[in-house]
Each structure stands twice: as structure tokens, then as C-alpha cells.
């Protein structure tokens, strides 16, 4: 049994996302980053909720299998933008980013972020859903936004924490969830696994 942050081994964040790293540090968790890779193509007919849960669980399970023993707790996460039942992941190219942003322009969409944590309490998963309302985007604005480099590695081809903040008229839900790691759900699942939070040495 561990009693404080100094006795608890680091958590493994099985993610290559710099946003997830930044957000987890905000909780004051001692952690190491070990990205895992997997095919993120949705299964034919897969519902968005099932899709984000499946990927988050796979990332956590792969991390757990790779480092078993070294990390008692492993975190996996996945974020997708959902518009009219379609799943928007990270755009493969400029054309795909254009199509995503043109579809989101002037509309309300949802962002789903799943977090999965393995540990002594087994595999636990939670999903945060957020409604996001975009203002109307002009064509030339979408083209110019691509040139900023922001859309390339973001679900739905935008970053709420970046220039795309100016696209967002309204949000109902979790800002950290849209950015990639819902901190309310993350802290809850880490508590269940006995992970100490608010360690001031790891906080940004």
C-alpha cells in the first residue's frame, strides 16, 4: 500500500499527445510518457461512443502489457469529433481538414474524449462528451488555418487551445475533454486506482 506521492511509482501515460502530457501535469501526477501505436480506423458501423472507448482501452491495455511490473497504473485516452453521426479523427491531409472544418462551420458538434486507466482496481473507463458551437468559417479562413500547422494532428482538424478558439461561440461540457484529456474523469479514475494527485513538483 502506498501512502504519499513519493512512495507511489510513476504512472505511465501511454500517449504521444503533448496536450495530454500538459493536462496530466496539471493534476500534479508523477508520470512518464510512453506512446503506443495502433490502427485508429473505426470498425465498419462502429458507434462513436464505442469507438473512443475501444481505442482508449486498447492504448491502456497495450501500455499495461508492455510495461507490466514497471508501472502499476497506465493511462490511455482517445478523442474524436462527432458531427451528424460521423467520426472525425485526425485529418490525413489538407483536403480532409478542409472538409471537416467546412462541415463544422456554423454548426454544433460533439467532442468525445475517453480515458481508460489500468491498475489494481482493474481496467476502468470513462467518457466525457462536450457540445461545441462553431461560428461560420470563411473558405479562405479555413485555407489559412491549415497553414498555421494547427489542424494536422488534431481530431476534427482544430485546436480549442490554439487559434481555433476564435471559431468557438459556445461550449457545453469539458474544455480539458475537448483538448484531449478530461480532467474531472481522469482525477476520478486515478483516485480509484489510489494514485496521489496535487504533487507540486510535477505541476506546471
Ligand X SMILES: Cc1cn([C@H]2C[C@H](O)[C@@H](COP(=O)(O)OP(=O)(O)OP(=O)(O)O)O2)c(=O)[nH]c1=O
Q: Interface residues with ligand X (CB under 6 A)? A: 15-17, 19-20, 35, 40, 77-79, 81, 90, 111, 153-156, 158-161, 178-180
CB of 98 to ligand X, least distance (A): 16
Select from 14, 8, 6 the least CA-distant residue to 32. Answer: 14
Confirm if 124 and 64 have CB atoms less than 8 A apart.
Answer: no
Q: Return the number of the residue (48 or 180) whose C-beta is nearest ligand X.
A: 180
Q: Which residues contact 33 (CB under 8 A, 6 or more apart)?
A: 13, 15, 16, 21
Q: Given the complex with ligand X, which of 16 and 42 has the nearer CB atom?
A: 16
| DSSP H or E run through 115 | strand 108-119
Q: Cβ 114 to ligand X, closest distance in Å?
A: 9
Give me the active site residues, please.
Answer: 78
In the block, cell 479523427 appears at 89
CB of 86: closest distance to ligand X in angstroms?
Answer: 14
Amino acid at each position: 500500500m502506498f501512502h504519499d506521492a513519493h512512495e507511489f511509482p510513476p504512472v505511465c501515460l501511454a500517449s504521444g499527445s503533448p496536450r495530454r502530457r500538459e493536462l496530466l501535469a496539471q493534476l500534479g501526477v508523477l508520470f512518464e510518457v510512453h506512446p503506443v501505436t495502433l490502427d485508429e480506423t473505426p470498425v465498419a458501423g462502429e458507434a462513436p461512443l464505442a469507438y473512443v472507448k475501444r481505442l482508449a482501452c486498447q492504448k491502456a491495455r497495450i501500455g499495461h502489457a508492455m510495461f507490466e511490473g514497471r508501472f502499476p497504473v497506465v493511462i490511455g485516452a482517445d478523442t474524436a469529433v462527432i458531427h451528424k453521426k460521423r467520426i472525425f479523427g485526425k485529418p490525413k491531409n489538407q483536403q480532409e481538414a478542409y472538409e471537416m472544418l467546412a462541415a463544422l462551420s456554423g454548426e454544433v458538434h460533439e467532442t468525445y474524449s475517453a480515458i481508460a486507466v489500468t491498475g489494481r482496481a482493474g481496467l476502468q473507463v470513462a467518457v466525457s462528451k462536450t457540445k461545441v458551437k462553431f461560428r461560420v468559417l470563411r473558405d479562405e479562413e479555413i485555407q489559412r488555418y491549415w497553414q498555421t500547422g494547427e489542424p494536422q494532428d488534431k481530431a476534427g482538424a482544430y485546436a480549442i487551445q490554439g487559434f481555433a478558439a476564435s471559431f468557438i461561440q459556445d461550449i457545453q461540457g469539458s474544455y480539458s475533454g475537448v483538448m484531449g484529456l478530461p480532467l474531472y474523469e481522469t482525477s476520478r479514475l486515478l483516485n480509484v486506482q489510489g494514485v496521489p494527485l496535487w504533487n507540486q513538483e510535477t505541476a506546471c
